[in-house]
Chain A
Amino acid sequence: MTETVESIVNCKNVSVYYGQKKAINNISIDIGRRSITAFIGPSGCGKSTFLRTINRMNDTIDSCRIEGTVIVDGKDIYDPSIDVVPLRAKVGMVFQKPNPFPKSIYENVAYGPRIHGLASNKSELDDIVEKALKGAGLWNEARDRLDESGTSLSGGQQQRLCIARTIAVEPQIILMDEPCSALDPIATSNIEDLMSDLAKEYTIIIVTHSMQQAARVSQKTAYFHLGNLIEYGDTKEIFVRPKDSQTEAYISGKIG
């Protein structure tokens, strides 16, 4: 490591079980503030599962059980006293498939600020929506059609709408679970540009299938295999000089 970055997520000995099956095996990792960290690895390696432990989205799966500690911004998020609501307001998430609500574009973005009470009046809310849409690079395309349904947008636009919806809450961390896997190359490059912009303000953790994407956007990369964290380090290092033979095999396309 060349520079010391202040870390915002600290995981220690985290294991995740689905019923009897162990999906994540004893992972410890620290993730730096205002940077982009990429989780890569073959499918089924547990990278998405691990991502979802960071904002406790795994709570929605009944059989899921977690061991170890996950500390976000200094707090153990699996402490019984922690409520998931403020946690998820702080740790936003963008999903694999664009999932706008079947409501207007405006309502989609305004949803988060509304439930959390972030705006005290209509004009404040308008400002938040505008800022979020601008932040997600959707403002120019959507400013004249805010009343149209969010589902009427194209796939890439929908995904940017979901990002706008997430940043409208002003979280500190944004988790992205293969955000470009359902998109075409042009939409993908738009999102990637957007990510680099967002990284100035937000901590971004992205799960991706595509090694090129990880290489393009991330500062740090973690390689997962069969529920284990095999290697974690600076992206440049990992892609140029992987320390582990499995990582090397994956990066050079031998497994995947």
Chain B
Amino acid sequence: MIPATYIVTTLIGIFLFFLGKNRIKNICMNENKKPHSLNIYHGLFPAILSIVPPLILLSLWIICDDVIFDQMLKNRLPNNLIIEGKQTFLILLAAINNIADGIIVGEPERWMMDLAQKLIIWRGHSDSLISIITIICSFAFGLYALSFVKIDFRARNAVEKLIMIGLIICSLIAIITTIGIIFSVIFESIRFFKLVPIYEFLTGLTWNPEFEGAARAGSGQAGLSTYGSIPLFVGTFLISIIALSVSVPVGLLSAVYLSEYATKKIRGIFKPLLEILAGVPTVVYGFFAALTIAPFFRETGGLIGLDVASESALAAGFVMGIMIIPFVSSLSDDVIRAVPQSLRDAALGLGSTKSETIKKVVLPAALPGIVASIILAVSRAVGETMIVVMAAGLAANLSLNPLDAVTTVTAQIVTILVGDQEFESAKTLSAFALALTLIIITLILNFFALQIVKKYREKYD
């Protein structure tokens, strides 16, 4: 029914397009005048109005009707129903929805079958209702628009205004997404901080969300989970440091070599090769870290008498460092090349060697840009997920030893949120609190990097 409605509405629009076009043609013939706008705009104006707003309405309805149905189901749940243990309200609703979709597991209770039956009827009513409304709207808007079509109607301006509104709405998506992210994180985080005090989250030294039912009696007690996020941040920090100590020297020196020493041809070959490293999906790096690098480190460690964990911060950090090399190198390369040639000439003209010119003139001049590129690399490392999930492990050890297994903020978010969650439990909610801190950290890093780059640009523009 719904797909048919989409098609019918579109057909109405096309019909109105020709109606509008013919109408203006006839008017012109009768009055023997030229219209203000081309005929096509007189057709487009009613067509757009009869298609776009009704279809947006229809789409919104389809997205939102589940929310309304859930509310209606909630009001019709049996009064004597006891929600116990893991049988949360959400799971009940999902079960009823499944029954209505024809997925029946086991023998559902009688009242559930009834509700599912009702749900099917509601859905049918809702679909017919919205289809009728959509088609009526489509006609109404279209005919109303058609009534404007006259010889002196500025149809082009009207159509352009409509397109402009469309463009503005599209450009609002960025803001809507940001709002969506903030909302999806903040509300759950507030709920989390009601269960777990914020100071415990920020200062606690143990992260152990495993022993957890739906409710949480207190915190830090025996047998109960604890939500001290320090080990996660230390782990994130440790892995990022390892990654940077690989990527910064290699990336920076590569950038210097490729921009200052290499011939055009060599640069043309090696720069894209380096950038391939940035195009490899992170899951591939994770696989590489877990299957090749981690065993290699463990064996080499064993040879020299070091006890390296099978999932070590070193392996994950090292591979992450490889991944980040091109981020450091290509941004640094840009800023190094932005240093004016006249400064190089001045230094060379005084008799500096090339390396003296680079070390004493070019790099100091490019320093702000290089710092910005390193900050962006840090933000990249902090936000990286798959490598850590696959190679660094999930043990929340509070350790700065790169040979230990550690875990990170992102790895915890993923493990907590993969699979079925109960949105009531502190464990699930903790992922949102972690995400909130992660967002804040990356945005701060991004802000500083952009400020530095902006200042740097002003200096040379």
Interface string of B434-461 (1 = CB under 8 A from A): 0000000000000000000000000100
Interface string of A8-38 (1 = CB under 8 A from B): 0000000000000000000000000000000
Please pick, from B263, B350, B360, the residue contacting A165 in the complex, using a CB distance under 8 A. Answer: B350
**Contacts of A66-123 to chain B: CB distance below 8 A:** 84-90, 92-95, 97, 99-103, 111-112, 115-116
> B152: CB under 8 A from chain A?
no
A174 CB to closest chain B CB (Å) equals 10
Q: Which of B271-279, B294-302, B340-348 contacts A (4 or more CB under 8 A)?
A: B340-348
**A88/B346 in contact, CB under 8 A:** no
Please pick, from A94, A95, A102, A112, the residue contacting B351 in the complex, using a CB distance under 8 A. Answer: A112
**A95/B350 in contact, CB under 8 A:** no
> A169: CB under 8 A from chain B?
yes
B455 CB to closest chain A CB (Å) equals 13
Interface string of B182-223 (1 = CB under 8 A from A): 000000000000000000000000000000000000000000
**B352/A85 in contact, CB under 8 A:** yes
CB nearest to B365 among chain A residues:
A102
**A87/B351 in contact, CB under 8 A:** yes
Q: Which residues of A contact B349 (CB under 8 A)?
A: 55, 57, 88, 92-95, 166
**B361/A88 in contact, CB under 8 A:** no
Bound complex: CA A97 to CA B349 (Å): 14
B5 CB to closest chain A CB (Å) equals 65
A93 CB to closest chain B CB (Å) equals 4
CB nearest to B344 among chain A residues:
A60
Q: Say yes or no: A92-B350 contact (C-beta < 8 A), given A99-B340, A102-B365, A111-B360.
A: yes
**A85/B353 in contact, CB under 8 A:** yes
A75 CB to closest chain B CB (Å) equals 15
A residues at B contact (CB < 8 Å): 55, 57, 60, 62, 84-90, 92-95, 97, 99-103, 111-112, 115-116, 162, 165-166, 169
16 further contact pairs, Cβ within 8 A, besides A60-B345, A102-B343, A169-B351: A60-B341, A60-B348, A62-B263, A88-B349, A89-B350, A95-B342, A97-B342, A101-B347, A101-B361, A102-B365, A111-B360, A115-B350, A115-B352, A165-B346, A165-B350, A166-B349
Q: Which residues of B contact A55 (CB under 8 A)?
A: 349
Q: Which residues of B contact A166 (CB under 8 A)?
A: 349-350
Q: Which residues of B contact A84 (CB under 8 A)?
A: 348, 351
Q: Say yes or no: A115-B340 contact (C-beta < 8 A), given A60-B345, A89-B351.
A: no
Q: How many residues of B contact A (CB 8 A)?
A: 22
A118 CB to closest chain B CB (Å) equals 11
**A99/B365 in contact, CB under 8 A:** no
B263 CB to closest chain A CB (Å) equals 6
> B264: CB under 8 A from chain A?
yes
Bound complex: CA A116 to CA B360 (Å): 13
CB nearest to B345 among chain A residues:
A95
A166 CB to closest chain B CB (Å) equals 7
A167 CB to closest chain B CB (Å) equals 11
**A99/B263 in contact, CB under 8 A:** no
**A86/B361 in contact, CB under 8 A:** no
Could you jot down 10 A-B contacts, CB within 8 Å? A60-B348, A84-B348, A84-B351, A85-B352, A88-B348, A88-B350, A95-B346, A101-B361, A112-B350, A169-B351
B307 CB to closest chain A CB (Å) equals 48
Q: Say yes or no: A116-B343 contact (C-beta < 8 A), given A101-B361, A103-B364.
A: no
**Contacts of B99-126 to chain A: CB distance below 8 A:** none
A-B residue pairs, 4 tightest by C-beta: A93-B349, A89-B351, A88-B351, A99-B342
Q: Which residues of B contact A89 (CB under 8 A)?
A: 350-351
Please pick, from B264, B345, B353, B360, the residue contacting A99 in the complex, using a CB distance under 8 A. Answer: B345
CB nearest to A175 among chain B residues:
B349
Q: Which residues of A contact B264 (CB under 8 A)?
A: 62
> B65: CB under 8 A from chain A?
no
